[in-house]
Structures are given as structure tokens and as C-alpha cells.
């Protein structure tokens, strides 16, 4: 997912040269070289467009290439698409958990329309399920959860085996308590066996949090933690993923299957992912049925209302082209497709600039055929 505040900031910036690139990412081993070839073609096309417009800056493109080399874009298994933005003032990369079509835009502002389907809330979320027997990460949506086997989580048994202390090592009676009973002094390790067990657990959960953070690096999607309270407390202490939800599931994970995990986490995810979109569509349909002026479905009027700050919620139809936004060297958009993309960009940019919300939905869920519907503030 992409956070709304990030997209709002991107859409508001103006530059002498602003380049926006979008490309699908294939994660199979034999596809990685094709990813690099595809990226090179899109970068060459961006250079051509910049030269045609008279805004080409060699240093800007050289810096972008250097940033892309460091980013290791094609090494993250959860990345299905990428959005790349760069200008004379900076570089920004979004790894997306959904496919995007190839697209290049060069101008004075960033082109954000292809990024809108990744705007929160998005249908994908993740669940980290913790237990001392085993811990796993799951990719989930409204249809269920699937365990991600590519991620290797730490093993508590191995940690315990490496650091296990015999019960009588490091702890012995060396003084008297106030009632004449032996007082326990902790030598060598400094903790009781029970305390040291907690240290082992803490070490284990820290490793799990680090593994999940690295795996989901660059992916802004909700993350729900499931496990017993002790493990959840440690996980929240160490986790750095920005999408970690405040509320977790206080349930022992060991022995659960994928369906069990989903049944516990979906009640937390559904209000975040689905309900806001359904509520907005219901409001749009109700206003359209009444025929009042609380909603609008005419694209030209929506653009004007967005500029005036009147849109509370913009609902954009999904781009249904087979390869949305494709502008490769041998497959350029026609004028009509480019106009549609630019219109969507203006609607979105102006809506975000005035604090409105945006949802991308299937076209058939809009009350009429068209690319957009808007719920108005006044």
C-alpha cells in the first residue's frame, strides 16, 4: 500500500524535470533479467521524452540509475510492481504488492494516477503468527490467508539449545536472607533461570520481527500480530513495519491452520480494508438514486469540483485495459488513452490537495458507466 500522506506530498511537488516510471516486477529467477531489460527500455524512453521537451538533465538520470542499483528492486519476493519518481531534487521508489502496467511520464509534476490502486486501504494485508514452537508470516486478503514459505523465521529450539544453562550453573546460595534462609546470588549470567528463559524468548521474537521487517521492506500494508500476550509484547517492542496495527490477536498460534488464522484476523482487517470503500459506494449510490447534488458522476464537472476543493471522496473506476498505461517504445498509448490517464491524474491530485479520500473500485460498482464518481462536501 501507499500512504495517503505520501501520495499527497508527491502530487503537490513541481519541478523543472519530473520523471514517473511504472513497471510490473516478475520475481521468478528466470524473469529477473527481463525486469532489468524492461527497466532500461523505460529509462531510455524517459530520456527521449525529456530531450524532446527540452528538459533533459544528464545528472538527474545518472543519479536515478545509481539509486536503482542500490535499491535492488528485483530482489524482494513480495514486490509485484514498482513506481519510481525522480527529479533534480530527489528520488523515491515504491515497491507495490500489486501489478501495474508499464508507463512513463515526463513533465513538471509527478504522474500519480497508476499508483492509485495501491493507495490505502488496499485489499492485501499480512499476519505474523508467533509461538515458541513455530512462527510464520501470512499474506491475506478477503478470500483467506496463505503462508509465505520463502521467509525463514528463527527457531526457538535452536536458540534455546545454543544458550541453555543447566539448572545449577551460575546460581548458588552464598549469603543469608533476613530470616536466616539462604539468599540467592546470581553469578556468571546475572539472571535466574526463569529470567534467562525470558531473555531467550526476547531474542527469538527480536529475530522474528527483524525477518518480517526485512521481508516487507518498502511495502506499506497492514500487518496484524497473532500470538500469546508475552510474545505480542516483545514483538511490538522490536517491530518497525509502519503498517503494524495497534490491535493484535491474543491467541496461541501453534496448531492453527490457514483457515483458523484468517478467522481470527479478518475481523480486525475488514473494517480497515473493505468497510470504508463499501460505505463510500453506498453513499454514492444513494445520492445518485435521489438525484440530489450531494454526488457527481460527470467527469468534466468532477475535475472542476476537485480544483475547488468540493470533493470529499473520489471513486475512480479500475483501468480495465489489458496492459494499463503501457507506453513502451513499440507500444505507445493512443491520444485517447493518454487523455484519460491525464484526466485521472488531475482528479486525484486536486482531490488529495484539498484533503479528500480516493478509492479505486471495479467500474460495475459505480452507479453509471464512466471513469469516476464523487461525493461532495457541499
Q: Where is 141: in which H helix or E strand?
A: strand 136-141
| More confident of the two residues 341 and 204 | 204
Which residues, listed in sequence order, are joined to residue 249 by a DSSP beta bridge? 226
CA separation for the pair 295, 291 (Å, rounded) = 8
Q: Where is 295: in which H helix or E strand?
A: strand 295-296
pLDDT category at 120 given cuts 50, 70, 90 is low
CA separation for the pair 220, 73 (Å, rounded) = 16
For residue range 228-243, list pLDDT tens digits in order. Answer: 999 999 999 999 998 8
pTM of the model: 0.67
Which residues, listed in sequence order, are joined to residue 22 by a DSSP beta bridge? 83, 103
Q: Is the pLDDT of residue 354 over 70?
A: yes
Please, are residues 366 and 298 in contact by the beta-carbon 8 Å criterion? no
CA separation for the pair 224, 267 (Å, rounded) = 11
φ and ψ at residue 22, rounded to 5 degrees: -135, 135
Q: Is the dihedral of CA 225, 226, 227, 229 positive or negative?
A: positive
Which residues, listed in sequence order, are joined to residue 173 by a DSSP beta bridge? 184
* Domains with residue ranges and CATH for the chain: 1-120 (3.30.960), 125-162+199-273 (3.30.420.60), 274-378 (3.30.1330.30)
* pLDDT score of 224: 98
CA separation for the pair 233, 128 (Å, rounded) = 13
Q: Is the pLDDT of residue 171 over 50?
A: no
Determine if the peptide bond prior to 237 is cis (ω within 30°): no
Which residues, listed in sequence order, are joined to residue 107 by a DSSP beta bridge? 18
- Of 115-124, 152-161, 181-190, the poorest mean pLDDT is in 181-190
For residue range 51-108, list pLDDT tens digits in order. Answer: 999 999 999 999 999 999 888 777 776 778 889 999 999 999 988 877 888 999 999 9
Task: Calculate what percentage of the chain has a pLDDT beyond 90.
Answer: 56
Q: Where is 226: in which H helix or E strand?
A: strand 223-227
Which residues, listed in sequence order, are joined to residue 143 by a DSSP beta bridge? none
Amino acid at each position: 500500500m501507499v500512504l495517503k500522506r505520501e501520495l499527497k506530498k508527491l502530487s503537490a511537488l513541481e519541478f523543472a524535470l519530473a520523471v514517473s516510471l511504472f513497471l510490473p516486477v516478475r520475481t521468478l529467477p528466470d524473469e529477473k533479467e527481463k525486469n532489468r531489460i524492461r527497466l532500461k527500455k523505460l529509462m531510455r524512453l524517459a530520456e527521449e521524452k525529456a530531450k524532446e521537451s527540452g528538459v533533459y538533465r544528464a545528472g538527474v538520470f545518472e543519479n536515478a540509475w545509481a539509486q536503482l542499483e542500490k535499491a535492488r528492486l528485483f530482489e524482494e519476493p513480495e514486490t509485484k510492481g514498482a513506481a519510481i519518481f525522480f527529479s533534480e531534487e530527489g528520488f523515491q521508489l515504491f515497491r507495490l504488492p500489486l501489478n501495474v502496467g508499464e508507463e512513463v511520464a515526463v513533465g513538471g509534476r509527478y504522474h500519480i494516477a497508476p499508483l492509485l490502486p495501491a493507495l490505502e486501504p488496499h485489499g492485501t494485508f499480512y499476519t505474523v503468527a508467533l509461538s515458541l514452537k513455530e512462527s510464520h508470516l501470512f499474506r491475506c486478503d478477503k478470500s483467506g490467508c496463505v503462508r509465505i514459505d520463502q521467509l525463514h523465521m528463527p527457531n526457538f529450539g535452536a536458540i534455546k539449545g545454543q544458550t541453555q544453562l543447566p539448572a545449577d550453573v551460575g546460581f548458588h546460595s552464598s549469603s543469608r536472607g533476613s530470616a536466616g534462609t539462604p539468599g540467592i546470588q546470581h553469578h556468571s549470567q546475572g539472571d535466574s533461570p526463569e529470567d534467562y528463559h525470558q531473555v531467550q524468548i526476547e531474542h527469538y521474537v527480536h529475530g522474528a520481527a527483524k525477518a518480517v521487517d526485512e521481508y516487507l521492506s518498502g511495502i506499506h500494508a497492514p500487518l496484524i500480530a497473532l500470538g500469546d500476550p508475552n510474545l505480542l509484547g516483545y514483538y511490538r517492542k522490536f517491530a518497525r513495519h509502519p503498517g503494524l496495527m495497534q490491535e493484535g490477536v491474543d491467541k496461541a498460534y501453534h496448531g492453527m491452520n490457514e483457515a483458523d488464522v484468517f478467522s481470527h484476523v479478518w475481523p480486525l482487517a475488514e473494517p480497515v480494508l473493505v468497510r470504508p470503500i463499501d460505505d463510500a459506494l453506498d453513499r454514492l449510490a444513494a445520492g445518485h438514486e435521489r438525484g440530489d447534488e450531494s454526488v457527481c458522476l460527470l467527469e468534466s464537472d468532477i475535475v472542476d469540483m476537485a480544483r475547488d476543493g468540493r470533493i470529499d471522496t473520489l471513486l475512480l473506476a479500475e483501468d480495465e485495459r489489458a496492459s494499463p498505461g503501457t507506453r513502451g517504445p513499440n507500444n505507445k498509448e493512443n491520444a485517447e488513452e493518454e487523455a484519460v490517464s491525464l484526466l485521472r491524474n488531475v482528479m486525484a491530485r486536486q482531490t488529495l490537495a484539498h484533503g479528500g479520500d480516493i478509492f479505486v473500485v471495479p467500474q460495475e460498482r459505480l452507479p453509471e458507466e464512466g471513469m469516476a464518481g464523487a461525493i461532495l462536501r457541499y
